[in-house]
Amino acid sequence: MFDSHVHTDFSGDSDMKIADAIKRADELGIGLVITDHMDINDYIKNRSGFDVDKFFEAYTKLRSDKLLLGIELGLREEAVERNVHLVNNYDFDFILGSTHAPYASKHEYEFFDAEVYVGKSKREAYEEYFRSMIRGVKENEYIDSLAHIDYIARYSRYDDKELYYNEYKPLIDEVLKEVALREKSMEISTRRIGNKTSADELMKIYKRFRELGGETVTIGSDGHYPGAIGANLKSGLEMAEACGLKPVYYKKRKIHFIK
């Protein structure tokens, strides 16, 4: 089993040392895919991600069948060419694509920030989020898996943050169709599936992914500290099985099935 979404201190929002991540994974008997953030945003000062050369210099010697080196790329219009350059010029095992910000916005705000919700109803904000995700999938063919479809439900500023599938069904279905059409994986993010309502809504989404032709999912904790690594992976596997989807991980950009 692999936790396919883990951040170390190359990510700006994580202080976790790679040694601590490896120790925790060994305790759990699982493999890790390191997916540090590369969120290029030309409207945030000094927002260009991490030094990829230093990343490989530090981690290549630790690479093994149980420790794989990926990257989480923020999908934004102005980042596409630079993302493609990274994918084509570095030896990543896995490319995870994420919608962290409005795709074509000309400001610094991301879906993590309160400012992105100012003056918008929940419906307006969530529809903007899914339209950004649709463009991200269509215009970034290089990704292997689409991360955390429910990311906005972590950080939006509404009384009820939950993502209800039936409220956004046409847009969510379009996301799922585009991922399935390109034979990419969806990620089952385990961050929120410990909550029954969240798990029930996500189950609807992943069942629909299967109905629309999707076949595979990666499973990841989005862990930023040792205690988060491996969280709810068993629940993620159970969700994949219930939805008829095959859990996988990527090594050298090739798909491997988790048995």
Average predicted confidence (pLDDT) for the chain: 96
Confidence of residue 49 (pLDDT cuts 50, 70, 90): confident
Looking at residue 47, what is its pLDDT?
A: 61
Q: What is the CATH number of the domain that holds 114?
A: 3.20.20.140
pTM of the model: 0.96
- Please name the residues in contact with 101: beta carbons below 8 A apart, sequence gap of 6 or more: 39, 41, 74, 76, 109, 110, 111, 116, 132
- Per-residue pLDDT tens digits for 115-145: 999 999 999 999 999 999 999 999 999 999 9
Count of domains observed in the chain: 1
Percent of the chain with pLDDT over 90: 93
Angle, vertex CA 202, rays to CA 210 and CA 10, nearest 5 = 100
Task: Tell me the residue ranges of DSSP E strands in 75-232.
Answer: 94-98, 145-146, 185-189, 216-220
Residue numbers of the domain that contains 123? 2-257
β pairing state of 254-257 and 246-251: antiparallel
